[in-house]
Amino acid sequence: MEANGSSKKIDDVGETERDAATRNQFAAEKHAVIYKKHRPKADPKAIERILNFAKEKKSTRFTLAVDIACGSGQGTEDLAQHFEKVIGIDISSAQINEANRTNKATNVEYKVGDAENIPVKDNSVDLVTCSQAVHWFDFDTFLREVDRILTPNGVLAVYSRGDYVLLHDDQHVEKELTTIYKECTWKTLKNYWNDPVHATRQKGYVDLNIPYPDFNRTRIQSKMDMTLTELTGFISSFTAYQRFRKENPDEDIFTPLYARFLRALKVNTEPDKTVVTAGCPLYLLMGRKPDEEEIKRFHFVWEEN
C-alpha cells in the first residue's frame, strides 16, 4: 500500500507536519466549546449499522471500543451502552478537556493521542470508529495502527457526512435555501478551506479502502431538524470559519444570512425559533480484521511498502 500523505518529522518528539497541522486546526479552547455545542451527534442509523456489522462474528459482549479523533465526544458516548469500556482519543488537548468536562458516562475515558500512534495495547479492541476525521490522517499508517490494536474479527468503521442541502416541501424554496447555505460555506469561506483534505471528505472517501477481505462501503441518507441559530452555530464550528474569523474578527456574516433565510421561507420569526431540515449523505466504510482461519482461506497478507 502507498501512503496518502507526507509524514515528515519536524521535531524530536516525533510530531509530523500532518500532526501539527491537524492539532492546530482544533487547538483553541473556545473552538472546542463551539465544537461540543454545535457539532451534530453521530447519526443513530450509522451507529446501528456499525454495531450490527460488528456483531456478525462476535457472540460475546463487546469489551473495548476506541473512537479516534473523537473531538469533544460527539460520537464516543453513543457507544458506551454497548461496550464495557470506550476510549475517545484526539490529538487536541482542548477537545479532550472539553470532552472530559462534559462526560457523563462512567465507562468512557478520554485521552490525548495520535491516530498514527494509537496509545492502546495490541489485539485489545473490538471496534475502532472514526467520524469526520480520517481525511486528516496518513491513511496507510492509520490502518496499520488499527490492525495492530484490533482483535481478530474486530471492526474498523470510518464515516463522514457529505455536503448539506436544506430540505423543504416546496422545491423552489428548497433550492433557494440550499443556495444561500452553499454561498456562505463555499463562497464566503472559499479561501479558508484546506482544499485537498476537504475534497477527500466531500467525495465520500471514494479513494479510500479498508484492505480486509470483509469490507463494506455504504451510503446512508441523514437528516436533522435545527433552528437557524443552530445552523449558523454548526457553520461556526468549521475550521474554515475559524480561519475566516481570525482574519476578519469584526465581520458579521450571520445577520445578513438570517435575513436571506427568513425571506426565502417567507416568515418573520426569530432565528432561534425558525426550524429548517438539513439533509446530507453519510458515507460509511467498514472492514473486519480476519481471524487465523480467514487469513488462510483468503491468503490475506498485510503488504509492506
pLDDT of residue 50: 97
Strand segments, DSSP code E, in 116-228 are 125-131, 150-161, 165-167, 214-227
> Which residues lie closer than 8 Å to 25 by C-beta, 6 or more apart?
136, 194, 239, 242
The predicted-structure confidence for 118-157, as pLDDT tens digits, reads as follows: 999 999 999 999 998 898 899 999 999 999 999 999 999 9
Question: How buried is 301 (Cβ within 10 angstroms: 0-12 exposed, 13-18 middle, 19+ buried)?
Answer: exposed
Per-residue pLDDT of the chain (305 residues; tens, 9 = 90+): 333 333 322 233 344 444 444 444 445 567 777 877 878 888 999 999 999 999 999 877 899 999 999 999 988 999 999 999 999 999 999 999 999 999 999 999 999 999 999 999 999 999 999 998 898 899 999 999 999 999 999 999 999 998 899 999 999 999 999 999 999 998 999 999 876 556 666 678 888 999 999 999 999 999 999 999 999 999 999 989 999 999 999 999 999 999 999 999 999 999 999 999 999 999 999 999 998 777 766 655 555 44
Whole-number average pLDDT of the chain: 86
pLDDT of residue 293: 76
CA distance 12 to 130: 28
Partners of 110 in the β-ladder: 88
pLDDT of residue 183: 96
Cα of 138 vs its chain's centroid, Å: 15
Total residues belonging to the chain: 305
pTM: 0.85
CA distance 278 to 128: 28
CA distance 191 to 267: 32
In angstroms, the Cα distances linking 81 to 58, 61, 90, 236 are 16, 11, 21, 31
Instruction: Pull the grid cell for residue 138.
Output: 496518513
pLDDT of residue 300: 59
Question: How buried is 6 (Cβ within 10 angstroms: 0-12 exposed, 13-18 middle, 19+ buried)?
Answer: exposed
CB–CB of 115/68 below 8 Å? yes
Torsions phi, psi for 95 (to 5 deg): -65, -40
Instruction: Pull the grid cell for residue 222.
Output: 441523514
Instruction: Pull the grid cell for residue 57.
Output: 462474528
The predicted-structure confidence for 19-42, as pLDDT tens digits, reads as follows: 444 444 445 567 777 877 878 888
pLDDT of residue 60: 76
Q: Is the dihedral of CA 67, 105, 47, 282 positive or negative?
A: negative
CB–CB of 253/208 below 8 Å? no
Torsions phi, psi for 215 (to 5 deg): -125, 135
**3-class secondary structure, 203:** coil
In angstroms, the Cα distances linking 209 to 18, 50, 205 are 20, 16, 8
How many helices (H) and strands (E) would you count in the chain? 11, 8
